[in-house]
Amino acid sequence: MNPRYQIFISSTFRDLRNERQAVLDAVLELGHFPAGMEVFPAADATPWSVIETIIAESDYYVLIIGGLYGSTDEHGISYTEREYDLALSKSIPVLAFLHSDPSQIPAGMSELDPVARERLSAFRAKVEVHHCKYWSCADELKAQVVIGIVHAIRVAPRTGWIRGDTGDTAETLKKQGAVGGFEVV
């Protein structure tokens, strides 16, 4: 049985549309499920509640950092940084990809506000405690994401999703312990 994994894609949106699409394509081409703002459902919940639920259900977390810090909450923390912190708190493996030369990002795709620039710089430094990969274009990012996901699955396999009509269902249920309050024997 080959599980399929849900992979959360996190980044700012306006400046990284092409890069997000490249990562989404990479996840789909690997046969996994991408999760991110493009596929969020309409819901009777706050945006953050939706994000929390989807990250909690994800097997891996891909973070892309470009030239913008992004929209912030009432405490001045970007939603991208909050997503990152949440993934860490849930022990979800983080695959981090940072733009290799932020000074080369066009002004319309970069932070102009000094406070936001400082927050972005601090966020990059916070993320760089992980082994990060650096990218300069969407195609390079896509290739690095494919390698990163394949490696993560090999060294840190997660639960993932398995079709209900494959494998020994009774054995699968037994591994999980109990169903509906009844122990499977």
Residue 184: pLDDT over 60: no
pLDDT at site 114? 93
For range 92-117, the mean pLDDT = 89
The sign of the torsion formed by the CA atoms of 132, 68, 6, 150 equals negative
pLDDT at site 168? 59
pLDDT band for 102, please (50, 70, 90 cuts): confident
Residue 178: pLDDT over 70: no
Any bridge partners for residue 69, and if so which? none
Domains, the chain, ranges and CATH? Answer: 6-183 (3.40.50.10140)
Of 56-65, 99-108, 129-138, 146-155, the least confident: 99-108
Q: Which residue has the higher pLDDT, 115 or 45?
A: 115
Q: Read off the pLDDT of residues 71-91 as tens digits, 9 standing for 90 and up.
A: 998 899 999 999 999 999 999
For range 18-29, the mean pLDDT = 96
For range 127-153, the mean pLDDT = 97
Of 26-35, 139-148, 154-163, the least confident: 154-163
pLDDT at site 180? 52
